[in-house]
């Protein structure tokens, strides 16, 4: 069964550095999402992406964050200048018809900011 893959599985970065989290969504999916989960807490929506543009972003997704689909397969989340509070699990998800159908999640990238 096709799956969403995320790399790296764990990223350790110094505060203030830029990080890029990578995702390969399921190939025929058109809708892409990033979520964040701080340890032990709920899964929080960050951003949704469709037709090469952002559909929705949450208040968490400030100017330090950006997303890109640089080619036909990758979907990236960039944090320009990381803060300690950015430490979390970041999950990528994709679906073929948006939120009205199940979303398929990757296993996440654990981001640790030192």
Partner 1 sequence: SQQGEEDPQALSIQEGENATMNCSYKTSINNLQWYRQNSGRGLVHLILIRSNEREKHSGRLRVTLDTSKKSSSLLITASRAADTASYFCATANQAGTALIFGKGTTLSVSS
Sign of the torsion angle spanned by Cα atoms 7, 9, 14, 16: positive
The answer to whether 100 contacts partner 1 (rule: CB under 8 A) is: yes
Nearest to 45 by CA among 35, 55, 33, 37: 35
If the CB atoms of residues 27 and 42 are measured against partner 1, the closer one turns out to be 42
The answer to whether 11 contacts partner 1 (rule: CB under 8 A) is: no
Of the listed pieces 12-20, 39-47, 65-73, 75-83, which binds partner 1 according to CB under 8 A? 39-47
Binding residues for partner 1, rule: CB under 8 A, are: 4, 33, 35, 41-45, 48, 55-56, 58, 91, 93, 98-108
């Amino acid at each position: 069964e096709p799956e969403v893959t995320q790399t790296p599985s764990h990223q350790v970065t110094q505060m203030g550095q830029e990080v890029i989290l990578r995702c390969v969504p399921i190939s025929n999916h058109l809708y892409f999402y990033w979520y964040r989960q701080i340890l032990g807490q709920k899964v929080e929506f960050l951003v949704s992406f469709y037709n090469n543009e952002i559909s929705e972003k949450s208040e968490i997704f400030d100017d330090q964050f950006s997303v890109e689909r640089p080619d036909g397969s990758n979907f990236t989340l960039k944090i320009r200048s990381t803060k300690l509070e950015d430490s979390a699990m970041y999950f990528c998800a994709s679906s073929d018809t948006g939120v009205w159908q199940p979303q398929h999640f990757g296993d996440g990238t654990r981001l640790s900011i030192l």
